[in-house]
Structure 1
Amino acid sequence: MVITIFTLHSQNSVLEQKLEKKQLLEKEMAKLELMERDLYDEIANLNNLEYISEIARRDYFLSKPGEIIFKVTPTSSD
């Protein structure tokens, strides 16, 4: 009888540990799925020519033919 109770108690604690680990892994999986969706969105954006041209114009100051780019520094409102 004592052996049975001891076995049930040890199995119960192992089960609780595995359930906790499962919950942590499910949270991690949800984060990774969100990251995956963000990466797929980024891939879609990088295949969009308008998005690429916007990035090139903003970050590298490239321009279209006949276009002039002015860099404006923000002013502080004192």
Structure 2
Amino acid sequence: MSLKRDNKAEKREVTSIRNDYVRSVEVEEARKSAHRVRLFRRLSVFGLMILVATIWIGSTIYAQTQTISEKAQLREEALMELKEVEKQQDQLQEQILLLNDEEYLAKLARKDYFLSEEGEIIFTTPHDENKDEEKPAEKE
């Protein structure tokens, strides 16, 4: 029978005492719970702001890196083009110096326009033309 009495005792509910101390403890627990909720919200908003700022900074750095690499490639292409133009300019300067020489002009006129000096006869052979075609290919 003692088992039946224990079961009956467990089924009974204990009523809480409603005095000032118990109410103050409940109010303090409610205040702490509300404080935890507000703290969690503040930390969540702050964390979200940090995440957005990090994504924004990362995307900006990525975009700038892409721009820098594109500009570096354009710079390399421009430098290569500059070297070609400088080489071409040097060749043109040499040609200007040669064209100021009268002997070179006479030789060039005889070669390209088949002009001759008095008493000189010009003969062209197929073998000579092949050599003329091979010479520019060797210079390049």
TM-score (norm. length: structure 1)? 0.84
Measured in 2, the distance between the counterparts of 1:9 and 1:72 equals 67
Q: Shift in Å at residue 61 of structure 1? A: 2.4
1:1-78 to structure 2, matched below 5 A, reads 1-65=54-118, 67-74=119-126
Q: Residue type of the partner of 1:8?
A: I
Number of matched residues? 74
Which structure has the larger Rg? 2
Q: Deviating runs (4+, > 3 A) in structure 1? A: none
Q: CA deviation at 1:69?
A: 1.6
Across the aligned residues of Structure 1 and Structure 2, the Cα RMSD in angstroms comes to: 1.4
CA contact (8 A) 1:61 1:69 kept: no
- Name the amino acid aligned to 1:24: E
Structure 2 unmatched ranges of 5 or more: 1-53, 128-140
* Conservation of the 8 A alpha-carbon contact between 2:114 and 2:122: no
Q: Flag the structure with higher helix content.
A: 2
Unaligned runs of 5+ in 1: none
SS where residue 39 of structure 1 aligns? helix
